[in-house]
Structure 1
Amino acid sequence: MSLLARVTAGALLGLLPLADCAQQAASAERRRVAEDFHASQPLAAGAEGAGLRAQGPTHPAADHASLPVIAVVPQMKDKAAAIHYLDRWWAELPDARGAAYFDLIQRKDSAGIDWRVRRYDQATRQVMLDVCFSGELPWVGFEGYSREWYAGGQLREELTYHKGYVEGLLRTYYPNGKPRRVAEYHRRRLVRSVCYGAQGEAISCPPYHTYAQFRRPGRSNTADVFTWINEQYPQYMPANYAGRTQDTTYYAFYVDSLGYAQKPRILLGRNEHVNAAVLKAIGSLPRFEPATQEGEPTHEALAGGLIYEHRSR
């Protein structure tokens, strides 16, 4: 990706220059060594308000209409930069209609980083997420320093990835900037962690994040969700369907904090019969065990692709 392309993509959004993920990771590593990454010392929460020193920048409204809009991530294969829209629960959208957030996706070439994704609030242009990836497409192999912010600009999470896994310290904060969790990872394993209540008292650590899961024996992980959709959609195809097609339909939805699949949508699909059948299959999903974040039920966005072939009956 050329320097001009990088500058143009940023200028279209009125963005302030931000260090790339490799630079951020190096900075985080220096801070990590300087603070408390010594195995002989207890994990430190960090100075009170540490998160407040790393608030997410806000950006003025700017025209980003010149960047292409993608409906699905595979469309990035031949692009240097693009915009991808999401709803209020971070579930993918095919275009800007109903969007609450958008991703600025940029191709990179820096110290093992191939992609950088920054997520912005559609209304305020505040950055909500800054994360990088290695590989042919973004959202495959996490790499480098990652940060996430609350809506008010307070840092919520910071961590470093190496080859898709957390490595070093993961820190989370309350909306007021007080530390919530400090966890240390080494060679893909959690070494130790300490958690704090809202008043700063030490508490036992709940699971940091769990995914939405089926409440059915033998079907519990995310892959089972997509298998269910693949198995169920044929029964919703028209009985007299006589077309012969081979293609892929991409879809998205979210599972709410009560465990119900909500707002299914087609991101990209050229066969209207398959599209309708996929939406009905998603609607037939049984109730989930909802996802959790820091031990509390939360919404979770899911997206998948159905590769299909139908022949004349």
Structure 2
Amino acid sequence: MPGQSQLDSIFYVASKRLMRVRATTWQPAGDTLITTTDWRANGKRSGLNISSGVKKHQEHLAFDTEGRTRRKTVSERGKEISAECYSETGASVPCAEYQYVEKMPVYPGGHQALLAYIGSSVRYPKEALKKRNYGVVHLTFVVDETGHVSYARVKKGVSPELDAEALRVISGLARFEPGQQNGEAVPVFFTVPVTFAIR
């Protein structure tokens, strides 16, 4: 169409899920319409987000695991101005009955058990001791839908020896109870510091 340009269908795959981002820019106003669609591993949509960049208008639809619309929200400039919620049968219900629930992954025994495991598992590398290397290695990893740790990497390192040891320790973590959004297991990113100190 005259006066518009379009970037169509950028697909992302993230932990067995598919996201499609479609951007359309209207000229000469320069406003951008971005449509983002998320699908679950079972092929059902989990969300549809339509937003205009300049005016900051946004509409979002949330779907349950069967692909049924459960919530529709409209926002202006980042502030929600209306919300409609639906039951499993599609009937309108008060949004207080449909709550968006997030649950972070839980390590067996809790956060203190996670820290205790890291503290008891770290073995100071001899080469790092010789060089008197010390500090905090920051690692990121994903707890996937099954609770397993994957994609561990160094976000902020100290030295090759200490970075490798921190990765070794994280690779041995026990299986987490997976994180959830609205009762559905989802992948969650974590950042964990591993401290190396010479006494």
TM-score tier by shorter-chain length is 0.5 to 0.7
Structure with more helix by fraction: 1
| 1:148 alignment partner in structure 2 | 38
Q: Could you tell me whether the CA contact under 8 Å between 1:244 and 1:311 is conserved in 2?
A: no
Question: For the structure 1 residues 252 and 162, does the alpha-carbon distance in structure 2 shift closer, same or farther, using more than 3 Å as the test?
Answer: farther
Q: Could you tell me whether the CA contact under 8 Å between 2:105 and 2:143 is conserved in 1?
A: no
Q: Could you tell me whether the CA contact under 8 Å between 1:264 and 1:279 is conserved in 2?
A: no
| 2:124 alignment partner in structure 1 | 238
Q: Which runs of 5+ in 2 are unaligned?
A: 1-5, 24-32
Question: For the structure 1 residues 311 and 233, does the alpha-carbon distance in structure 2 shift closer, same or farther, using more than 3 Å as the test?
Answer: closer
TM-score (norm 1): 0.38
Tell me by how many angstroms 1:159 deviates.
0.8
Tell me by how many angstroms 1:191 deviates.
2.5
TM-score (norm 2): 0.54
Tell me by how many angstroms 1:264 deviates.
4.7
Tell me by how many angstroms 1:184 deviates.
1.7
Take 1:147 and 1:248, find their aligned partners in 2: how far apart are those partners?
Answer: 36
Task: Please tell me whether residue 210 in structure 1 is matched to residue 107 in structure 2.
Answer: no
| 1:275 alignment partner in structure 2 | 164
| 2:7 alignment partner in structure 1 | 20
The code of the aligned residue for 1:242 comes to K
Task: Map 1:74-113; keep pairs closer than 5 Å.
Answer: none
Question: For the structure 1 residues 275 and 148, does the alpha-carbon distance in structure 2 shift closer, same or farther, using more than 3 Å as the test?
Answer: same
The code of the aligned residue for 2:104 comes to A
Q: Could you tell me whether the CA contact under 8 Å between 1:237 and 1:277 is conserved in 2?
A: no
The code of the aligned residue for 1:236 comes to V
Q: Could you tell me whether the CA contact under 8 Å between 2:105 and 2:188 is conserved in 1?
A: no
Tell me by how many angstroms 1:265 deviates.
4.7
Task: Map 1:43-58; keep pairs closer than 5 Å.
Answer: none
| 2:62 alignment partner in structure 1 | 172
Q: Could you tell me whether the CA contact under 8 Å between 1:233 and 1:280 is conserved in 2?
A: no
- Larger radius of gyration between Structure 1 and Structure 2: 2
What is the percent sequence identity of the aligned residues?
11
RMSD between aligned residues: 5.0
Tell me by how many angstroms 1:213 deviates.
6.8
Q: SS of 2:18's equivalent?
A: strand
| 1:262 alignment partner in structure 2 | 148
Take 2:22 and 2:136, find their aligned partners in 1: how far apart are those partners?
Answer: 30
Tell me by how many angstroms 1:202 deviates.
3.0
